[in-house]
Amino acid sequence: MNYCPHCGQAVELTVPPGDHLPRHVCRGCGAVHYQNPKIVAGCVPEYEGRILLCRRAIEPRLGYWTIPAGFMENGETLQDAARRESVEEAMADVEIGSLLAVIDVLHAHQVHVMFRARLPEPRYGAGAESLEVALYEEGDIPWNEIAFRSVDFALRRFLEDRSSGLERHHFHAIDLRRSR
């Protein structure tokens, strides 16, 4: 951030009075512009034991496989967001189920919230951000071609819990920042 989104004057990085972290503060109007983690919502859609995966048509990780997931929008719930992303990326109308995983992705300033989901009918297809979409048996999941660590984590916990007959939720933190 170089300029104030409100008034267009230059901002500087400084610790405001009473605060404890540097913020972008406008030299003109004095507005303080906070930057906070963004939420990615997604789900593991299941149809008769098989899992719906999407091969990414966009960067980052173009060509790698993921579950339907994306940035939550203002005005929707986490479940709304996970359902919408399944429609957009996999053309799949899923029923969102229980909470599966909450992953703090510290280097990316993101929190990933993943749910279990049911695909009632085997109807799906490649949305604009996917090269292909397919149902995978557990033994066929392309583990070496999974796009993101958070997706790998969510898929593994999903399968472990399913084999135990459980629907737990799992917290996890991923931090790829360089050590100082």
Binding residues for a copy of itself (CB under 8 A): 1-8, 10-11, 18, 21, 24, 33-39, 71-79, 99, 102, 104, 106, 109, 111, 128, 169, 171, 173, 177
In this complex, which beta carbon is closest to a copy of itself, that of residue 6 or of residue 123? Answer: 6
The vertex-42 CA angle with 41 and 47, nearest 5°, equals: 160
In this complex, which beta carbon is closest to a copy of itself, that of residue 8 or of residue 142? Answer: 8
Could you tell me the smallest distance in angstroms from the CB atom of residue 164 to a copy of itself? 19
Could you tell me the smallest distance in angstroms from the CB atom of residue 9 to a copy of itself? 8
In this complex, which beta carbon is closest to a copy of itself, that of residue 104 or of residue 152? Answer: 104
Distance in Å from the first CA to the final CA of the chain? 23
Strand positions, DSSP E, 9-94? 11-14, 23-26, 32-33, 38-47, 50-56, 65-66, 69-71
Residue 103's Cα: distance from chain center in Å?
A: 9
Could you tell me the smallest distance in angstroms from the CB atom of residue 108 to a copy of itself? 9
In this complex, which beta carbon is closest to a copy of itself, that of residue 34 or of residue 163? Answer: 34
In the three-class reduction of DSSP (H, G, I as helix; E, B as strand; rest coil), residue 155 is classed as helix
Could you tell me the smallest distance in angstroms from the CB atom of residue 17 to a copy of itself? 11
CA distance 168 to 161: 7
